[in-house]
Amino acid sequence: MPNHLFDAFRNAISAPDAVFIETQEGRIWTFADVLTLSARLANVLAESGVAPGDRVAVQVEKSAEALVLYLACLRAGAVYLPLNTGYTVAELDYFFNDAKPALVVASPQNAEKLAGIVSGCGAVLETLDDAGGGTILARATVAGSMFADVDRGPNDLAAILYTSGTTGRSKGAMLSHDNLLSNAKALKETWRFTAADRLIHALPIFHTHGLFVASNVTLISGASMFLLPKFDLDRIVALLPKATVLMGVPTFYVRLSEDERVNRESTAHMRLFISGSAPLLSETHRTFRERAGHAILERYGMTETNMNTSNPYDGERIAGTVGLPLPGVSVRVADMETGAPLPAGETGMLEVKGPNVFQGYWNMPEKTKAEFRNDGFFITGDLGVIDGRGYVHIVGRGKDLVISGGYNIYPKEIETELDQIDGVFESAVFGVPHKDFGEGVTAAVVAKPGASLVEKDMLTILGERLARYKLPKRILIVDELPRNTMGKVQKNLLRNAYHNLYD
Q: Which is nearer to ligand AMP, 150 or 278 (CB)?
A: 278
CB of 469 to ligand MLC, least distance (A): 4
CB of 119 to ligand AMP, least distance (A): 30
CB of 301 to ligand MLC, least distance (A): 4
Q: Which is nearer to ligand AMP, 76 or 394 (CB)?
A: 394
Q: Which is nearer to ligand MLC, 95 or 407 (CB)?
A: 407
Choose the one of ligand AMP, ligand MLC, none that binds residue 380, judging by a C-beta under 5 to 8 angstroms depending on kind: ligand AMP
Choose the one of ligand AMP, ligand MLC, none that binds residue 397, judging by a C-beta under 5 to 8 angstroms depending on kind: ligand AMP
Choose the one of ligand AMP, ligand MLC, none that binds residue 322, judging by a C-beta under 5 to 8 angstroms depending on kind: ligand AMP
Pair 490, 480: CB distance under 8 Å: no
Q: Which is nearer to ligand AMP, 121 or 403 (CB)?
A: 403
380 CB burial (10 A radius; 0-12, 13-18, 19+)? buried
Choose the one of ligand MLC, ligand AMP, none that binds residue 230, judging by a C-beta under 5 to 8 angstroms depending on kind: ligand MLC
Per-residue CA distances from 430 to 229, 341, 415, 496 (Å): 30, 30, 10, 11
Pair 61, 85: CB distance under 8 Å: yes
Choose the one of ligand AMP, ligand MLC, none that binds residue 42, judging by a C-beta under 5 to 8 angstroms depending on kind: none
> Distance between CA atoms of 81 and 388, rounded to whole angstroms?
40
Mapping DSSP onto H, E and C, the string for 201-213 reads: ECCCCCCHHHHHH
61 CB burial (10 A radius; 0-12, 13-18, 19+)? middle
CB of 452 to ligand AMP, least distance (A): 36
Q: What angle do CA 313, 314, 316 make, to 5 degrees?
A: 95
**Closest residue to ligand MLC, Cβ-based?**
405
The conformation of residue 329, written as its DSSP 8-state character, comes to -
Q: Which is nearer to ligand AMP, 58 or 394 (CB)?
A: 394
Q: Which is nearer to ligand MLC, 280 or 318 (CB)?
A: 280
CB of 210 to ligand MLC, least distance (A): 5
Q: Which is nearer to ligand AMP, 38 or 277 (CB)?
A: 277
- Give contact residues for ligand MLC (rule: CB under 6 A): 203-204, 207-210, 230-231, 249, 251, 276-277, 301-303, 404-407, 437, 468-469
Choose the one of ligand MLC, ligand AMP, none that binds residue 279, judging by a C-beta under 5 to 8 angstroms depending on kind: ligand AMP
CB of 20 to ligand AMP, least distance (A): 26
Q: Which is nearer to ligand AMP, 403 or 418 (CB)?
A: 403
Choose the one of ligand MLC, ligand AMP, none that binds residue 156, judging by a C-beta under 5 to 8 angstroms depending on kind: none
CB of 396 to ligand MLC, least distance (A): 16
The conformation of residue 279, written as its DSSP 8-state character, comes to P
What residues have CB less than 8 Å from 457, skipping those under 6 apart?
A: none
Q: Which is nearer to ligand MLC, 208 or 427 (CB)?
A: 208
CB of 164 to ligand AMP, least distance (A): 7
The conformation of residue 131, written as its DSSP 8-state character, comes to T
- Give contact residues for ligand AMP (rule: CB under 6 A): 163, 208, 276-279, 298, 300-303, 322, 380-382, 394, 397, 403, 408
Choose the one of ligand AMP, ligand MLC, none that binds residue 231, judging by a C-beta under 5 to 8 angstroms depending on kind: ligand MLC
Pair 186, 108: CB distance under 8 Å: no
Reported as type and span, the H/E element at residue 223 is: none
**Cβ burial 192-213 (10 Å sphere, 16+ → b, else e):** ebeeebbbbbbbbbbbbbbbbb
CB of 442 to ligand MLC, least distance (A): 11
Which DSSP string corresponds to 181-201?
A: HHHHHHHHHHHT--TT-EEEE
Choose the one of ligand AMP, ligand MLC, none that binds residue 257, judging by a C-beta under 5 to 8 angstroms depending on kind: none
Alpha helices (H) along 150-264: 177-191, 208, 217-220, 233-239, 250-257
Choose the one of ligand AMP, ligand MLC, none that binds residue 247, judging by a C-beta under 5 to 8 angstroms depending on kind: none
Per-residue CA distances from 295 to 87, 262, 290, 373, 391 (Å): 35, 14, 9, 36, 16
CB of 9 to ligand MLC, least distance (A): 20
Choose the one of ligand MLC, ligand AMP, none that binds residue 210, judging by a C-beta under 5 to 8 angstroms depending on kind: ligand MLC
Pair 372, 339: CB distance under 8 Å: no
Residues 479-487: contacts with CB within 8 Å, 24+ apart?
A: 479/446, 480/446, 481/426, 481/428, 481/444, 481/446
What residues have CB less than 8 Å from 488, skipping those under 6 apart?
A: none
Q: Which is nearer to ligand AMP, 94 or 469 (CB)?
A: 469
366 CB burial (10 A radius; 0-12, 13-18, 19+)? exposed
Question: Could you tell me how many residues make up the chain?
Answer: 503
Q: Which is nearer to ligand MLC, 86 or 168 (CB)?
A: 86
CB of 169 to ligand AMP, least distance (A): 14
